[in-house]
Amino acid sequence: MGIADDAVEIRARGWRTLAALHALIEAELERALAESVQLSVVEYTVLDALSRQDGWHMRMQQLARATALSPSATTRLVTRLEDRGLLTRILCADDRRGIYTELTPSGRELFERAHPIHDEALARVLAEAGGRPELAPVVHALQGSQVLAGA
Amino acid sequence: MGIADDAVEIRARGWRTLAALHALIEAELERALAESVQLSVVEYTVLDALSRQDGWHMRMQQLARATALSPSATTRLVTRLEDRGLLTRILCADDRRGIYTELTPSGRELFERAHPIHDEALARVLAEAGGRPELAPVVHALQGSQVLAGA
DNA sequence: GCGGACTAGTTGCGTGTGCAATGATTATGT
DNA sequence: ACATAATCATTGCACACGCAACTAGTCCGC
């Protein structure tokens, strides 16, 4: 068991920690959002991404990147949200292959309602995770580094 | 825009970073493992968990926790691996509700083969992620904190 | 002991996902 | 100018997942 093997184990352990934390947070957000606004986490991510592009449009591909989803999944995700009247497809004139998406007033309204719920759940689960010794360092780094980045 | 709002944004940004990093790593591991040993990431996680319980058994429930999966998904995951001859179900005598799972020699052999591939892919994607400014702090924390925990 | 609450694991069912193939539009090379 | 390649989004298909309902086994109170 040499130094190289230690490095392997350290990486693997870090990855397991990351995966565990991710699963914990996602499960809690999923629960909270589904309960109060009938939204999944990815669906919320779409609304969030669109709302942050305030007044401006977003291509399907950008949406796929923001959600870490395949093109096909993105298509259906957008279709679901469109069917609920939360966003609209806008085919752009300059490149007729591309399709822009934009929040409807109803979509923006729902997002405004979902936003505090999302944050409350996130704050709660991060606090809980911060209490677990194996997760705490990552939780701290997550917030600490972002303090610097956000300042 | 007060301090409270900043905290909200910091949490959200941290979560997006975590999710992005998680997706990046998982996609790369998925690709590498599927290509070389026809294993998904969760399937590898099962083999890894079982191999680390060296010589000892694991209940379905523990497996569900280790993989962050529902009981039903765990059942089918184990069934898949059992059908491939990589592990066996063992119903334990002391509590006849419980079911233990154990690696077969074939399963252990496959894991030995998958292990270096897994680590190579993980090391590569972590190095890549470390180069992206928005991901770097978390990547660093992940490995750094584990150095301390592992020592 | 015996009936009811509880736990462990499994199945039916609906749904979201990725991959590969396709249609539609734009870019490129000669 | 025209054919070929590349890009964006969408569909067919198979599959893995979660939830709820179910079966089998254990624990508890009386």
CB neighbour list of residue B28: distance below 8 Å, 6 or more residues apart: B121, B124, B125
Touching check for B73 and chain A: CB below 8 Å? no
Residue A125 near chain B (CB below 8 Å): no
For chain C, which bases have at least one atom within 7 A of a protein Cβ? 7-12, 16-20, 23-27
CA-based torsion, A9, A13, A15, A19: positive or negative: positive
Does residue A37 surpass a pLDDT of 70?
yes
Please write the tens of the pLDDT for every residue from B77-123: 999 999 999 999 999 888 999 999 999 999 999 999 999 999 999 99
Closest residue by Cα to the C1' atom of nucleotide D23?
B97
Residue A84 burial (C-beta neighbours within 10 Å; 0-12, 13-18, 19+): middle
Percent of chain A beyond pLDDT 90? 82
Residue with tokens 């001859």: B85
Verify whether the Cβ–Cβ distance B13 to A146 is below 8 Å: yes
Mean pLDDT of A8-37: 96
Q: Which domains does chain B have, with CATH numbers?
A: 20-128 (1.10.10.10)
Residue with tokens 């409270």: B4
Among A135, A13, A45, CA closest to B15: A45
Contact B12, B105 (CB under 8 A): no
CA to C1' distance (Å), from B21 to C15: 26
Q: What is the pLDDT of residue A145?
A: 57
Give the confidence band of A60 by pLDDT, cuts at 50, 70, 90.
very high
The H or E element that residue B54 is part of is: none
Using a 7 Å CB cut-off, which residues contact strand C?
A 40, 42, 68-73, 76-77, 80, 95-97; B 30-31, 59-61, 71-72, 74-76, 78-79, 89, 95, 97-99
Question: What is the rounded distance in angstroms from the CA atom of residue A39 to the CA atom of residue B67?
Answer: 24
